[in-house]
Amino acid sequence: MAETFPVPRTCPFAPPPEYEHMREQAPLVRGTHRDGEVWLVTRHAEAKQVLAGSGISTNPASPGHPNAITSGTRSPEEIAALEAFSIGHFIDLDPPEHGRFRRLLIPEFTVRRMRELRPGIQRLVDQLIDDMLAKGPEAELVEAFGLALPSLVICQLLGVPYADREFFQSRTRTMIDPTADSQTRWGAMSELRSFLDGLVTGAEAAPEDDLLGRLIGSGQLTHDELVGVIFLLLVAGHETTANMLPLSVLTLLRHPGQLAALRENPGKWPMAVDELLRYHSVVDWVAFDRVATEDQEIGGQQVRKGEGIFVLGASANRDERAFERPDEFDVERGARHHVAFGYGVHQCLGQNLARAELEIALRTLFERIPDLRVTVSDEDLSAKYDGAIFGLKAMPVAW
């Protein structure tokens, strides 16, 4: 019997409980999704095989893709609009076209480049904590810290005026809100893209020495491709870290012994960040939609050309074949081989930036506010249980 998909979460600290049953069944199980059946990849080894494998496409234009542009009851006009809108969204392109964009962007996200950005991230973190302390002794951490820091960082990186942060935050939230109707989501997407179109036009007229200016200077991207790339980086670079930060704070507060060990040995923060990324896997299946472009065997299962596939990242990251005691949070684990950022040629380009933001933000927050506490029970926390990207809606704290 096919599993209904997607499956909502029910706990801030765990993926959907159905995932464990699916994982026990087989590395691939059948799921019912919107327009038909798809394969759900439940285990770590097979997840990496699909994410890095040949004969697999991430492009929604590929026949059978579970999120195909042509799926559903869209009119020819709607399909044409979506195709135009997706220009520059290189995450949805297959090699070799995907590589054309990625090669231009890799120098902007290297470990060396992140080292250069760290002092600026530190200043932003300190500024936000200064503001919280000045207004204290209470705060709403999602708004004051979780949403604010990635907004500041990505605005700085892309040259987006920080005064416009509320605009793009609200449009991004609407775009991924599962309760919003398609017309509302499409309106938010269109408004955000129009805003970025103006931003790129201004930068083309007077390019600066920043990420957008360097992309313009390369001469390798059209105007529409530039708009699409900036749209993708803005949304991906903001929403994921914004959800991870409050969840990470909550998890560490619920494991005081491990938090104390990190305070005693700050050199372990990078390892702790990777464990948090594995443990929460907030993106789960959102960026891991694929389609087979040839017949092949995956995990002992015959997958036919044109069959849709979802890799369940949160299930793969709780696979006991890859991680001992996978449901336990352990900052000593050394979970660098998780798939929270994907795997293979489509592995998240901004993973070094996300790690740097999380590490600096968490370390500094607990250093400067050592008596931080959540003022409500876990049961009373409002979470995005049916959201495409998981996180908390609000998290009241005090010190």
Q: How confident is the model at residue 242 (pLDDT cuts 50, 70, 90)?
A: very high
DSSP-derived pairing of the beta strands 289-292 and 56-57: antiparallel
The Cα-based distances of 108 to 14, 209, 233 in angstroms read 33, 12, 12
pLDDT range class, residue 178, cuts 50, 70, 90: low
pLDDT-derived band of residue 168, with 50, 70 and 90 as boundaries?
Answer: confident
The per-residue b/e assignment along 14-37, b for 16 or more CB within 10 angstroms, e otherwise, is: ebbebbbebbeebbbbbbebeeee
Give pLDDT tens digits for 358-391: 999 999 999 999 999 999 999 999 999 988 899 9
For residue 312, pLDDT beyond 90: yes
Listed residue (336, 345, 352) closest to 153, CA to CA: 352
Q: What percent of the chain has pLDDT over 70?
A: 98
pLDDT for 70 equals 67
Cα–Cα dist 360/353, whole Å: 11
Task: Report pLDDT for 334.
Answer: 86
The whole-angstrom separation of Cα 233 and Cα 115 is: 19
Task: 384-387: list long-range contacts, CB under 8 Å, 24+ apart.
Answer: 384/243, 385/8, 385/9, 385/10, 386/8, 386/178, 386/179, 387/176, 387/177, 387/178
User: Is the CB of residue 225 less than 8 Å from the CB of residue 88?
Assistant: yes
Cβ neighbours of 210 (radius 10 Å) = 15
Residue of 170, 330, 172, 166 whose CA lies nearest to 240: 172
Percentage of residues of the chain with pLDDT beyond 90: 77
Instruction: Provide the pairing of β-strand 36-41 with 308-311.
Output: parallel
Rounded mean pLDDT of the chain? 92
Say whether domain 3-398 belongs to CATH 1.10.630.10. yes
**pLDDT the model gives residue 28:** 97
Structure tokens at 168: 């793009």
Other beta carbons less than 10 A from residue 205's beta carbon: 8
**Which CA distances in Å does 134 have to 127, 137, 269?**
11, 8, 27
Give me the pLDDT at residue 71, please.
64
Give the burial class of 328: count Cβ atoms within 10 A of its Cβ; 0-12 exposed, 13-18 middle, 19 or more buried: exposed
pLDDT in tens, 13-48: 999 999 999 999 999 999 998 878 999 999 999 999
Residue 283 has pLDDT above 80, yes or no: yes
Q: What's the confidence (pLDDT) of residue 151?
A: 87
Per-residue pLDDT at 85 exceeds 90: no
The backbone torsions φ and ψ at residue 39, rounded to the nearest 5 degrees and listed phi first, read -90, 135
